[in-house]
Amino acid sequence: MACTKKSDNACKGTARAPHRSLYYASGYTDEELNQPMVGIICAKNELIPGHIELDRIAEAVKAGVRMAGGTPIEFPAIGVCDGIAMGHEGMKYSLVTRELIADSVECVAKAHQFDALVMIPNCDKIVPGMLMAAARLDLPTVFVSGGPMMPGHLAGNDPSNPYSGKNLSLTDMFEAVGGLAVGKVTEEQLKEMEHRACPGCGACSGMFTANSMNCLTEVLGLGLPGNGTIPAVTGERIALAKHAGMAVMNLYKKGITARQMMTAENFRNGLAADMALGCSSNTMLHLPAIAHEAGVEIDLHEVNEISNRTPNLCHLAPAGHTFMCELDDAGGVQAVLAELAKKKLINTKLITATGKTIAENIKGVKNRNPEILRPIENPYSDNGGIAILFGNLAPNGTVVKRSACAKELMKHTGPARVFNDESEAMEAVQKAKIKAGDVVVIRYEGPKGGPGMREMLAVTAALAGQGLDKQVALITDGRFSGATRGASLGHCSPEAAVGGPIALVEEGDMIELDINNYKITLKVSDEELAARKAKWVAPEPKVKTGYLARYAKLVSSADKGAILQ
């Protein structure tokens, strides 16, 4: 059954003559107003490489909507480039835009009574923000992203440059900065790399947060097959956008809305695919927030249960040195789902944006490169790419991208090196004050304490560039980038700003990690921790005015998805 034509609330009848006059002012015709009106939410801007070409995607989507009998109407969404915001005050303003995006899309869609929506994001917080809006609005909705960037390449065969002759991603750039500090690369070599690492438009080329979330739109069913992996620079991506426009009209005619693809079973599928793909640890912040908007709660203990039974099949950058375009060549997300279906690790009966079930979509799909996408009979590991550790240091959990963690640190005990913000830690790394075996603790960077929960990619990459990624662990109540590798544990909850145990850690305390057993232990007695807690005084808020101050007052802990309450 087709959906109700909501746009009639703003367009139909004599009482709406003033409303129609405003549409006529923009050049719309009666024929267009009589058709279903489809909101095209395009996050194009000239800051984010993954968004620079979204106007082309939007034009293709609109063509598809028109071909299928709808009237497309475009409006914008904001976006922050995490890479450009990294390592300075700007990173406080990244995660917080997720809620602004969700709120603004909801406002415009409700105010103008759209019948259906096509979301056009690509990077970082824009994808989850739009997913949250889709869950709130529950209209026929299709996601079509801008697509992944191709990897860069540093030509040549220079034995003095460890990156010479290799494909590159943004991770390599951050790590090379760390390498410069210890003489692994020269300034001239670093300069050459910065012109080669990111060759053009698209979401950064590895399985970082943007591509992780784009893949998960496809798994949930809201993105068409190929949405997660078809490269940004291809004609195939433009054709996909046209099909997205056609698909949303098909969903409208069939009465299929967003929440029908955002059930508890859909999110379990998402978590299983997340584990198989080796997605960014940031998915453990975004999926609970998106699920919350759809009326579904994700228990982090259940995440570990799914991780325990789901093999890891991909080692894309930063876990390995392969890239999204290679996963696309191997068959993309649909081939991953086909592998998981072999062992009934996903529910294939669920409806998708094609109007068909997952089972129908993956029928005949083949794994075309078992080196890039391991068959489920020969996985990289028998457990998934993400683990949530619990213990007296993180009673409500801390998240690690296990698939990008060196085996040397899967079980580790070391002395705490304590820093009260990212800049203190970065200064210590750059001055080579962090030694093998240390456990770096960066606190007061959580959702409230940051505020805004900054990513620590600059710190982790600098350590990797110094060759310490297999010898030093990190834990923070902030976040780590999807481009981070190593034993980097983020989202430590409760956070320091509310008096969580991470606020009580002192320099030299021993911290024990046991990643495969999902445990983290601060080797300090309960009595001593109680004594420290009694002396603890909450610090003054770092920001007292503007949006960040309001955000800090409303935001939940990371284990709840850092949602606004």
Which whole-number Å values give the CA distances from 410 to 176, 400, 457, 492, 516, in the listed order? 25, 10, 20, 17, 7
- CA dihedral sign, ordered 396, 400, 403, 407: negative
Sole residue written with tokens 């409760």: 494
Catalytic residue flag (residue 104): no
- C-alpha 256/C-alpha 273 separation (Å) is 23
Which two tokens mark 169? 């991603």
| Residues 373 and 313 sit within 8 Å (Cβ to Cβ) | yes
Longest dimension (CA), the chain: 77
d(CA 57, CA 65): 12
- Active-site pick, 205, 481, 488, 493: 481
Beta-carbon contacts of 23 under 8 Å, excluding residues fewer than 6 positions away, are 11, 33
Q: Please measure the distance between the N-terminal and C-terminal CA atoms of the chain and give it in whole angstroms.
A: 36
Q: Is residue 215 within 8 Å of 229, Cβ to Cβ?
A: yes
Q: Cα separations (Å) of 377 from 20, 69, 178, 325?
A: 60, 46, 38, 23
Rounded to whole angstroms, the Cα distance separating 257 from 251 reads 7
Of 561, 491, 481, the residue nearest 209 (C-alpha)? 481
Alpha-helical regions (H) of 26-158: 30-33, 54-67, 82-85, 97-112, 126-137
Rg over CA atoms, the chain: 23
Catalytic positions: 481
